[in-house]
Structure 1
Amino acid sequence: MKFTAVIVEDLSVAADVLQKYCIKSGKVNVVGSFKSTEEAIPYLSENSVDLIFLDIEMPGANGFSLLDQMQYQPQVILTTSKTEYAFDAFEYSVTDFLRKPFSYQRFAQALEKLKPLNEKKEEPEEMSHVFIKSDGKLIRLNNDDILYIESMGDYVKFITNDKKIISHNTIKALTEKINPDVFCKVHRSYIINMNKISDIRDNTLYIANAKIPVSKANRSTVMSRIKIV
């Protein structure tokens, strides 16, 4: 199972190197890349990741301010051209400190220091379906039957090929309960089954006959999870 990660780095060249190294390692799935703390916060406030590759000196707030605002504690690998932040890195209990420019070998050594992922995340049988509370009963839906989930205020609507089931729930709560290998939050009002996308045009994706918006904060996640040939 791969670590899910985001890159927070204002230099495109440095971000591209990290992306390339992550792919080469086969251990990290980059689900988002941001050029500043301000860009990263909205995504990280609604999505959990295992790892952050974090630059320190960026336009606006520095990398440490991002860590101060986090509501949970992912593992962190700092990337910077200066060694003067090493003590602060220790104070924040980061996994490793990569001084730019760094080689792939040094990058790989940093990955070796990561704590293993919780094996409990791998529960294929248990995560193959959901039970939905609706009309006083529990309705079982297999993941493959769900096309997408749409927010309706304090309720959500599960859309399948032949029915719509309304349940008292929220998109945010569902994000933490459904199988992340199958589903993806693409907008504050939508979670989609990645296997059901028929095509993507700009900031809109199509599932069956439905047009579903993709927010700017979630677009990089969606694009990182599709195979482009």
Structure 2
Amino acid sequence: MNILIVEDEALVAHDISQKLSNLGYNDLSFADSVKGALEQINNVRPSVVLVDIELKGDLDGIHLGGKLNEFQIPFIYLSNLQDIRTFERAKATNPSANVPKPVSLLQLRNSLLEIPSEIKGTQKFISITHKGKKYKVERESILFLKASGNNSEIHFRDMKRISSTPMGNVLEKIGDPCFIKVHRSYVVNMKHVNYYEGNMIFLYGLKDPIPMSDKYRNEFINNFDVV
């Protein structure tokens, strides 16, 4: 899933990209103007576009939204404007969602989840390579990922597979915001989380907990309250 971020403030664009990375979206591209965004779209058609309404210059984000609507590319507006005229202009372009600024992780996550899975390109199954064989596995059956050097352990209820792909790449391939990084070496599927105690996460049906580092604690707790 490729996400194009159209934002003319570098710090804001960086913050949004970090949040997307934490949600498992790493195939990102950037533009800081309507012209730049249209050039990007001509090169690589994005799955979804995040558009700052208040872009500097003659053409604002709503103008770009109108173009995206014509191209049938789903997009999400980012804005802190409250006036009714801007709201009505934005609404007329049929955005998938409107996210207020500053952008929060949960609002961003929920807005992306609202985009139909067939548009995002999310499939029910992914393929992984294990000991020279390629397997098709169901996303939701994955309990957690564990980094193992340049390889990844993909854990299921009654087995695990070793993939020759780094954990970050596996997470990107999964492309599901329910998979949350909780430690530099662990990613959990929030749908399988039973409870947490201190810095330990307990999954349904598993005796041994998953460690959680302080760096990822707030993100985990925020997602725990939503999923």
TM range (shorter): 0.5 to 0.7
Once the two structures are superposed, the pairs formed by residues 1-229 of structure 1 within 5 Å of their partners are: 39-44=15-20, 47-48=24-25, 74-78=49-53, 86-87=56-57, 90=60, 95=65, 100=81, 102=82, 106-107=86-87, 109-110=89-90, 112-113=92-93, 120-121=118-119, 127-180=123-176, 182-201=178-197, 204-207=200-203, 208=206, 209-213=208-212, 216=215, 219-220=218-219, 223-224=222-223, 226-227=225-226
Deviations 1:114-133 (A, max 9, x none): 56668634667xx3333321
In structure 2, the residue corresponding to 1:87 is in which secondary structure?
Answer: coil
Deviation at 1:162, TM superposition (A): 2.1
Deviations 1:154-188 (A, max 9, x none): 10001122222211012222233215165334444
Aligned to 1:24: none
Greater shift after overlay, 213-222 or 176-185?
Answer: 213-222
Q: Report which of the two has the higher share of helix.
A: 2
In structure 2, the residue corresponding to 1:172 is in which secondary structure?
Answer: helix
In structure 1, the residue corresponding to 2:137 is in which secondary structure?
Answer: strand
Distance 1:139 1:38, change over 3 A: closer
Q: Identity percentage over the alignment?
A: 18
Deviation at 1:107, TM superposition (A): 4.2
User: 1-side partners of 2:14 and 2:196: how far apart?
Assistant: 27
Gaps of 5+ in 1: 6-34, 50-63, 80-84
Distance 1:76 1:198, change over 3 A: same
In structure 2, the residue corresponding to 1:177 is in which secondary structure?
Answer: helix
Deviations 1:1-25 (A, max 9, x none): xx9x9xxxxxxxxxxxxxxxxxxxx
User: 2-side partners of 1:141 and 1:113: how far apart?
Assistant: 38
Distance 1:39 1:130, change over 3 A: closer
Deviations 1:174-216 (A, max 9, x none): 2332151653344443332221001134665332322232564
User: 1-side partners of 2:216 and 2:170: how far apart?
Assistant: 18
Gaps of 5+ in 2: 6-10, 27-31, 37-45, 66-76, 97-114
RMSD in angstroms over aligned alpha carbons? 4.9
Contact 2:53 2:60 in 1 (8 A): no
The two structures have a TM-score, normalised by structure 1, of 0.52
Deviations 1:52-77 (A, max 9, x none): xxxxxxxxxxxx6xxx9xxx883223
